[in-house]
Structure 1
């Protein structure tokens, strides 16, 4: 990629990544995707004692069509089991297809199980940390949450499943949602520095618009 695209993408990556320090909580809440490193990282957190249970949420999304033989949540749960997480500590929500549904459907699942965790650790991809936390804060405001992700740098993240192009498109789309979703009641307000929005405009102009939501402004 050109130096200008790299610089703009790195600015947005740094904005999305919150780098919160973790404390032990009641539940690990994994928002599933096409990146199995998130499942592996969540399992590692469980094995280190950060929470006594894990819930995996996710059906099949745009980026996981045909990638796994089952719902994202089921595939991630299988990875966690293989890494030593006991089956009775795992809960699976296999219906949600977006971040808001991840939270709503997980809340419903835990209520059905008569579970009422107060503190959550949200586990997500690095460049989706900020919107994940903002969505949780809006849709489940009486709970406490932190967000974390696999410890990967911008330069380390892309692999044979997720290209730099895919990553940048998602980062740009998430920033658009961070700006406009609060007015729709989907997430809490976030301050977006001018430098970050300028980077967004540069990337949209360069053609990274595949993940933009059509129903809201660019």
Structure 2
């Protein structure tokens, strides 16, 4: 959880953060798939994006995966998947089109517990659309491919630009802290067996190091 006084967001910080944001975005074009898998988070706009894709006919099955994680434990009273499922129902997605996985607390568990849930229902989708926050697209892809290397996957997120993404619930400071931490995980997690390897361009890693030096270090693994 990211709390407390945050470093100032100067113009230098904004420029560095845009560089990291752009790296996290994959820019995948979406194809009709067997399932839409929405990963839990503290941002309900992710659920709205997943539900909109189902309503657009991108896949017949909509899965929400998420218990209470790093950002929602102690703040939300119900699992992320339950809240996201309710948002989807309110948008017009029928109950029978959805599956809820409400135990997972991190990205690896999202994949593992969803796979177990699908197996228990006798389902074996071969192609997925993953929905996550923009600044977690790349990490979601790397985690999925580590856990499901034989499946086809595209990744997307709420279609909102960097400048417009902060709102009353998620500040720009928290977004930057999260992006910095996730970039470190993209580098370190393959060594731990959690994700596939992905190259990080030199200027992006230099931006990471500068942001950490400026105090954006609350979401780092220690």
Indicate the TM-score class for this superposition, using the shorter chain for normalisation: over 0.9
TM superposition shift of 1:68:
3.2
Aligned to 2:61: 53
TM superposition shift of 1:66:
4.2
2:118 pairs with 1:114? no
Determine helix, strand or coil for the equivalent of 1:55.
strand
Aligned to 1:40: 48
Which consecutive residues of structure 1, in runs of 5 or more, have no partner in the other structure? none
Deviations 1:16-52 (A, max 9, x none): 0011100000000000111000101111100000000
2:193 pairs with 1:185? yes
Determine helix, strand or coil for the equivalent of 1:161.
coil
After superposition, where does 1:14-25 map in structure 2 within 5 Å? Answer: 14-25=22-33
Which consecutive residues of structure 2, in runs of 5 or more, have no partner in the other structure? 1-8
Deviations 1:90-115 (A, max 9, x none): 10000000000000000000000110
2:179 pairs with 1:171? yes
2:170 pairs with 1:158? no
Determine helix, strand or coil for the equivalent of 2:154.
strand
Runs of at least 4 residues of structure 1 off by over 3 A?
A: 66-69
Tell me which of 67, 86, 89 is aligned to 1:81: 89
Aligned to 1:213: 221
Distance in structure 2 (CA, Å) of the matches to 1:31 and 1:84: 19
Tell me which of 130, 145, 151 is aligned to 1:143: 151
Contact 1:128 1:174 in 2 (8 A): yes
Aligned to 1:64: 72
Contact 1:28 1:54 in 2 (8 A): yes
Determine helix, strand or coil for the equivalent of 1:171.
helix
Tell me which of 196, 206, 211 is aligned to 1:198: 206
TM superposition shift of 1:180:
1.1
Distance in structure 2 (CA, Å) of the matches to 1:41 and 1:177: 25
Determine helix, strand or coil for the equivalent of 1:62.
coil
